[in-house]
Structures are given as structure tokens and as C-alpha cells.
């Protein structure tokens, strides 16, 4: 059977919340966040019969408690999908939702499913990163990695060490700009179409409705960021202001064969061209998007000049700046995160990959002259992932699919 073209039909997410007892989702279950997303995807796409969903893949970095029990399957049942629809859980830390998408894309491409739902969830208030983890002592005793590899903030400080041209001042300036872009995107109504309101409960305030992301700080200034503490190193460069926070939230999207989407009257917002994952030294995991993107571009005979939009996850400002420097891209290049990024929105680990896709699809719709875009992110334990997308509204013909060795 020939490989089928795979398209991103639609994507939604809950507003992201701050992790902790005062966050909007402090008393909301993680699996209920996923259920809300799945139900909204089905509501927004009535042309997709629920029984045609061939797989539900949901990522979570901490797969215990209300993020456990094979959450892709359990959330599908809770959302009311037919019990004939299978599901599974997936983990690639920050790139969990991205991996969920690329995994089901292979399933759809090969004809094992016509459509699938993929996404991710992280409730860092209930399940802090690393909860219950028991790292093998060989990591340290055999010096396989430095101990800093297990603390993401320390890996960001290591990245500053490796690239001294990326100063704290430059990282702060990037962070403040991300906050400005998110505020502008909200004011222009560009974020709201991708959000699904989520019912929340507070013992003090009763029931409510989350309709906006909680983390953004639109009044952020470079001057204000300059005085923040550096928790990962005395006199360091990584602060809460130039990093993504600890957050709660869920994302999801519908992936389908292009021919199936057309037959069902579903939109094809962008076409998945190719993807790549790469490993790097765990101590500098933030540089992971560089080799993942290099490999992807080379395999498709493209350069960064061919990429009209770049959605890169802002785990830390230094990580984004290292990527930009490598590809000789200006810090304020309009192709990069035009609607802002995770420093403002938040980064609920395994869910963030689909947030990048939702924003890219929205930007594609407004820019028919742009043919290619990428979603890319660094991944804990020393990895990076990048997906190459083609704008279905660009008027270009899909390239012939070839077999490649990654």
C-alpha cells in the first residue's frame, strides 16, 4: 500500500494554568483536562464520525495518579468515544505531544487508521516533574552524565556557559519580547480560537470557568527581569522570568489522511512533510532542536531560508537563542514565534508540542504565501524534536513522498 499524505485537521487546548495550590486547576483532575479537549475536537469537527477515530495517543511525562492508567485509552472512554476506539499513553518528556502526533501520523500514513487524536497533558501542580523517579546510580557512579543533566534549569545554565555570547541581558530581552507578543496576540484575538473553556473548582470561590492562560505577565519589562533571583546557580543567568514556568494544561489535535479528510469535509490546515528527533549531551539538552532541525532540512533538500514560520518551544530563553544563533537568525526575526511562546504562555511539559502546532496552523491560514513551517523543541535527558509542515493553503503541490533513513 502506498503511504498516504497526513494532515493536521484541527487542534485545541485548555488555557494553561499556574501549577500549585493557587493555580486555576489546583482542584481539577488531569484526565478531565484531556476529556474536555477530546470532546471539543469532536464538537468542532462534526464531519468526523467518532468510530472513524482509529487511535487516541495522549502524552504525559509523569504517568501516575490521574495522568496514569494508559491515559489515551482511559480519556477516550471518559470522553464518550466508542469503546472500539483504542488508545495509549506516550512519554518523551517535553516532546510528548509532538511524539504522539508523529506516532499516529505513521499509523495513518500506513493505512492502519483513517484519523487519530493526539495530544498531551501535564498537571505539574499534582505531579511535579520527576515525581516518583528513581534514577539509576550508574548515571553518576560511571559518569555517564553530570548530575546537572537531571535538573533542567541547570542544563540551561550549562548552555549559557557553552555560548557566552548569550548573556543574561539578551535572554531577558528575549523573554520580555515574548510577553509583549502574547499580549498583542490576545488583543488581536489570535489565541482565543484555539482555546476551549474549562470548568474549574475552588474550595474558597466555588465553580468557575477558565477562558484565558493564567501565566502571561504583559507588564513584564527588561528592567524588572534584571532583578530576579537565579535559583540554579549563584550569580547565574537563568531566572523565573526568562524561563517557562511550572504549569498545568492539556492539548489535542485531529490527524487524518488527506484523502479521508477531503471525503469527510474536514479541513486540512497543514500537511505533515517529515519529522526528526536527535540526541545531544543531556547536560545541554537545550541545544537539541539544532541537530534535529539540521537533519530534517538536509533530508528534504531545504535550508532555513525556505522556512517561513518557526514555532520553537521556549523552555528557556537561552535555548531559543542558541538555536537562532546557530541558524544565523536575528533575535527578533518575525518568523519566530510571532504570537509569543512558552515563557509567557507556560509549558505544561508533555502538552506543549501541540500548542506549537495550533499556533503554526493559525499563522499558516493568515499567510498563504508561506509554504513551509516547523515546530521544534528541546527535550529533557538530551534530545530535540522538529516537525516540518507544509501550508495546505499555500497553493503549492505536495512533494512526492520518498523513503528516507533518519
pLDDT tens, 94-118?
999 999 999 999 999 999 999 999 9
Catalytic residue among 123, 127, 160, 347: 347
Average pLDDT (188-198) is 98
3-state secondary structure of 361: helix
The pLDDT tens digits for 363-393 are 999 999 999 999 999 999 999 999 999 999 9
Mean pLDDT of 136-151: 90
Q: Which of 326, 378, 392, 404 is catalytic?
A: 378
How far is Cα 218 from Cα 184, in angstroms, rounded to an integer?
9
Residue 95 placed within a domain: yes
Q: What average pLDDT does this structure show over 173-189?
A: 98
Question: Read out DSSP for 267-290?
Answer: ---EEEEEEEEEE--GGGGGGTHH
Average pLDDT for 228-245: 97
Distance (Å, rounded) from C-alpha 199 to C-alpha 207?
A: 7
Q: What is the pLDDT of residue 405?
A: 42
Torsion of CA 92, 98, 100, 102, to 10 degrees: -120
Give a yes or no: residue 102 inside a domain.
yes
Is 54 in contact with 115 (CB distance < 8 Å)? yes
Pairing of strands 53-59, 247-257: unpaired
Residue 140's pLDDT is what? 84
| Catalytic residue (choose from 94, 127, 160, 392) | 94
Residue 119, phi then psi, degrees to nearest 5: 180, -160
Residue 54, phi-psi category: left (phi > 0), alpha (psi -120 to 50), beta (remainder): alpha
Residue 292, in any domain of the structure: yes
pLDDT, residue 301, reads 98
> pLDDT (tens digit, 9 = 90+) per residue, 199-228?
999 888 889 999 999 999 999 999 999 999
Q: Are the CB atoms for 154 and 198 separated by under 8 Å? A: no
Q: How far apart are CA 40 and CA 234, in angstroms?
A: 46
Grade residue 126 by pLDDT with cuts at 50, 70 and 90: very high
Query: For the residues 63-81, what does the mean pLDDT come to?
Result: 97
Q: How far apart are CA 76 and CA 43, in angstroms?
A: 14
| Residue 253: active-site member | no
Tell me the CATH number at 77: 3.40.47.10
Domain count, the chain: 1
Average pLDDT value over all residues in the chain = 95
Percent of the chain at pLDDT > 70 equals: 97
Q: Is the pLDDT of residue 400 over 60?
A: no
- Secondary structure class of 336 (helix, strand, coil): strand
pLDDT at 396: 64
Residue 1 within any structural domain of the chain: no
How much is the pLDDT for 307? 98
**How large is the average pLDDT for residues 27-41?**
98
What is the percent of the chain where pLDDT is above 90?
92
Question: Does residue 87 fall inside a structural domain?
Answer: yes
Average pLDDT over residues 267-290: 98
Rounded Cα–Cα distance for residues 352 and 227 (Å): 28
Q: Give the structural domain span for 315.
A: 6-126+179-220+242-389
In a domain, 333, yes or no: yes
Among 288, 345, 291, 283, which Cα is nearest to 314's?
Answer: 345
Q: Are 76 and 104 in contact (CB under 8 A)?
A: no
Residue 260 in any domain: the answer is yes
The mean per-residue pLDDT over the stretch 156-183 comes to 98
Active site residue 347: yes
Q: Is residue 144 part of a domain?
A: no
Instruction: Give the per-residue pLDDT at 401.
Output: 42
Amino acid at each position: 500500500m502506498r503511504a498516504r499524505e497526513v494532515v493536521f485537521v484541527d487542534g485545541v487546548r485548555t488555557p494553561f494554568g499556574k501549577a500549585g495550590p493557587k493555580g486555576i486547576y489546583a482542584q481539577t483532575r488531569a484526565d478531565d483536562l484531556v476529556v474536555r479537549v477530546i470532546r471539543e475536537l469532536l464538537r468542532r469537527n462534526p464531519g468526523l464520525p467518532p468510530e472513524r477515530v482509529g487511535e487516541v495517543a495522549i502524552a504525559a511525562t509523569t504517568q501516575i495518579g490521574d495522568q496514569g492508567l494508559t491515559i489515551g485509552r482511559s480519556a477516550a472512554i471518559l470522553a464518550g468515544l466508542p469503546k472500539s476506539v483504542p488508545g495509549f499513553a506516550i512519554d518523551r518528556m517535553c516532546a510528548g505531544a509532538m511524539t504522539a502526533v508523529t506516532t499516529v501520523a505513521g499509523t495513518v500514513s500506513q493505512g492502519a487508521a483513517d484519523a487519530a487524536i493526539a495530544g498531551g497533558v501535564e498537571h505539574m501542580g499534582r505531579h511535579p516533574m520527576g515525581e516518583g523517579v528513581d534514577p539509576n546510580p550508574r548515571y553518576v557512579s560511571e559518569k555517564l552524565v553530570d548530575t546537572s543533566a537531571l535538573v533542567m534549569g541547570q542544563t540551561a545554565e550549562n548552555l549559557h556557559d557553552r555560548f557566552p555570547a548569550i548573556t543574561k541581558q539578551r535572554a531577558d530581552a528575549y523573554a520580555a519580547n515574548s510577553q509583549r507578543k502574547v499580549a498583542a496576540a490576545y488583543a488581536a484575538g489570535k489565541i482565543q480560537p484555539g482555546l476551549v473553556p474549562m470548568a474549574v473548582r475552588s474550595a474558597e470561590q466555588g465553580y468557575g470557568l477558565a477562558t484565558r492562560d493564567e501565566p502571561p505577565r504583559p507588564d513584564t519589562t527588561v528592567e524588572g527581569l534584571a532583578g530576579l533571583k537565579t535559583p540554579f546557580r549563584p550569580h547565574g543567568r537563568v531566572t523565573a522570568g526568562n524561563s517557562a514556568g511550572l504549569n498545568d494544561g492539556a492539548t489535542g489535535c485531529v490527524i487524518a489522511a488527506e484523502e479521508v479528510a477531503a471525503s469527510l469535509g474536514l479541513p486540512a490546515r497543514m500537511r505533515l512533510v517529515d519529522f526528526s528527533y536527535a540526541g545531544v549531551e543531556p547536560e545541554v539538552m537545550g541545544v537539541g532542536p539544532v541537530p534535529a532541525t539540521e537533519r530534517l532540512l538536509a533530508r528534504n533538500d531545504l535550508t532555513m531560508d525556505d522556512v517561513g514560520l518557526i514555532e520553537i518551544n521556549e523552555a528557556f530563553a537561552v535555548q531559543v537563542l542558541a538555536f537562532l544563533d546557530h541558524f544565523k537568525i536575528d533575535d527578533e526575526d518575525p518568523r519566530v514565534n510571532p504570537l509569543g511562546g512558552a515563557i509567557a504562555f507556560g509549558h505544561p511539559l508533555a502538552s506543549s508540542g501541540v500548542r506549537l502546532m495550533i499556533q503554526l496552523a493559525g499563522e499558516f491560514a493568515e499567510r498563504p504565501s508561506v509554504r513551509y513551517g516547523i515546530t521544534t523543541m528541546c527535550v529533557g535527558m538530551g534530545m530535540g524534536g522538529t516537525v516540518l509542515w507544509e501550508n495546505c493553503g499555500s497553493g503549492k503541490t505536495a512533494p512526492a513522498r520518498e523513503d528516507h533513513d533518519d
